[in-house]
Amino acid sequence: MQVNPTSDEKETGRIEAFSDGVFAIAITLLVLNIRVPQTQEVLPSLGLLTLLLRQWPFFLAFFLSFMTILVMWVNHHTLFNHIRRTDGPFLFLNGFLLLLVTFVPFPTALLAEFIEHSEAKVAAVVYSGTYLCIALAFSALWKYASTNYRLLDKHISRAQVERINIHYRVGPPAYLVAFVVSFLNVAASVGICMLLALWFTYTASFSRRLNS
């Protein structure tokens, strides 16, 4: 793809629309991990409420992953407020990020299924490792677009770029901690992922206010 460096016409409409669709599908598939109890499972000694409460790992994993994907979508949207152009490598970097996003429902279901099992650490490793890879993919996407203002809006300031740089320097090391901890303690690793989801929810909202 030929890119005219002097043009500031926004070229990212198709890639944003495609990305939004992928995020929407990934976030919708998460709910399929929560099973509706069958009527024959309800017994006098085992009510519907008890059956639902037994699925707490699936509800927890759904909430955590939903919030994380939502924050990723907000951050993706924020980046594209500053990115005006595309080229071949950028399209593939974005595609790799979306590949990882579509994978999220699998480690979510895996963690929910095995969180109380003896193999819970393996599930936590896969879960936290997935988010570590996503954090690295986000950082690579922004790094490629922002280096020498390669694909950025010409009106974005250096201060804005640096604020986003700081944001993406935090993600990979933080998820690396969650990944390493997953080999030692499942609850701590999941807790770190939950705190990171809350933290990036706040920073995404703060970043949008700064850039509005």
Q: Which residues of 92-116 are buried (b: 16+ CB within 10 A; e: fewer)?
A: ebbebbbebbeebbebbbbbbbbbe
Which pLDDT does position 202 carry in this prediction? 75
How far apart (Å, rounded) are the C-alpha atoms in residues 11 and 34? 39
Domain boundaries, the chain: 13-211
Which pLDDT does position 6 carry in this prediction? 45
Please name the residue that has the structure tokens 């006098």: 44
Which pLDDT does position 204 carry in this prediction? 64
- Angle (nearest 5°) at CA 61 between 57 and 65: 175
How far apart (Å, rounded) are the C-alpha atoms in residues 209 and 165? 17
Give tens-digit pLDDT for 44-54: 778 888 888 88
Which pLDDT does position 126 carry in this prediction? 96
Which pLDDT does position 93 carry in this prediction? 96
Which pLDDT does position 161 carry in this prediction? 85
DSSP 121: H
List the chain residues with pLDDT less than 70.
1-9, 204-212
Which pLDDT does position 24 carry in this prediction? 94
Give tens-digit pLDDT for 73-86: 988 988 888 898 89
Q: Is 187 exposed, middle or buried (0-12, 13-18, 19+ CB in 10 A)?
A: exposed
